[in-house]
Structure 1
Amino acid sequence: MSKNKILVVDDQMGIRLLLTDILENEGYEVQEATTGKQALDKIHKTNFDLIILDYKLPIMDGAEVLQKMEEDGVEVPALIMSGLTESIGAEAKKFPLVKKVIAKPFNVQELIQLVNKLV
């Protein structure tokens, strides 16, 4: 049985490591990306079941990644993470791929429940 694949995109190594550890313990196959461009490269090479995407990224931010995914016809559900959930909530909801905006710091149990529901 193949594992569900999740892409974690965040420029902060600590968040990537934490999410990777949590999700792998839940039985998911996890890949990481540090930039929006790196995320798009991986998205075009691998069929992911879910993307957990930081909204504020260097070079290409989360909104640009989502826009490019839509333009390219990539339909993978996304969870957006941000320390500024109030200011980006409305903008993120413009993208049909975005299932929820998660505030940083996040509750690990709530995140696991949400991931399990979406995948």
Structure 2
Amino acid sequence: MTKAILVVDDQPGIRMLLQEIFNDEGYSVTTAESGKEALDSLYDRPFDLLMLDYKLPIIDGTEVLKQMERDQITVPAIVMSGLVEDVTKGINEFSIVKKVVAKPFNIQEVSEFVKRVLE
């Protein structure tokens, strides 16, 4: 069965890049541009992986993770941020976070890590 990935980023270029790469690798990709959209998608259907930007409009990445934990949505998450040092401190409390990735990221490294998480 095809693995489903939810990509959440307020930057259209990053959403499109990740969607194209993961589609080419055979994954089903859904995108969202805000934390609210991400939560709506997570409540609507199951995903195998969440690629989540830390800085988002309306509901930020930390709040998305808090609500997921509160509602027992245990989708593994990879958090993306331009401020990795700041993010890593507050993000370690969430068991679903598998990795924090610095922007700009090496797409090959991200792709290989995604493959490991989904296997």
TM-score (norm 2): 0.98
Please provide the CA RMSD for this pair.
0.5
Measured in 1, the distance between the counterparts of 2:87 and 2:33 equals 20
Give deviations 1:66-118, integer Å, cap 9, x for gaps: 00000001000000000000111111111111000000000011001100000
Note the residue ranges of structure 1 that are not aligned, 5 or more in a row.
none
Are residue 78 (structure 1) and residue 77 (structure 2) matched? yes
Partner of 1:45: 44
Partner of 1:30: 29
Give deviations 1:32-85, integer Å, cap 9, x for gaps: 000001100000111100000000000100000000000001000000000000
**In structure 2, the residue corresponding to 1:101 is in which secondary structure?**
strand
Measured in 2, the distance between the counterparts of 1:108 and 1:15 equals 11
**In structure 1, the residue corresponding to 2:26 is in which secondary structure?**
coil
Measured in 2, the distance between the counterparts of 1:55 and 1:82 equals 5
Letter in 1 for 2:80: M
Partner of 1:106: 105
**In structure 1, the residue corresponding to 2:30 is in which secondary structure?**
strand
Partner of 1:68: 67
Note the residue ranges of structure 2 that are not aligned, 5 or more in a row.
none
Letter in 1 for 2:46: N
Segments of 4+ moved more than 2 angstroms: none
Q: How many residues align?
A: 118
TM-score (norm 1): 0.98
Partner of 2:93: 94
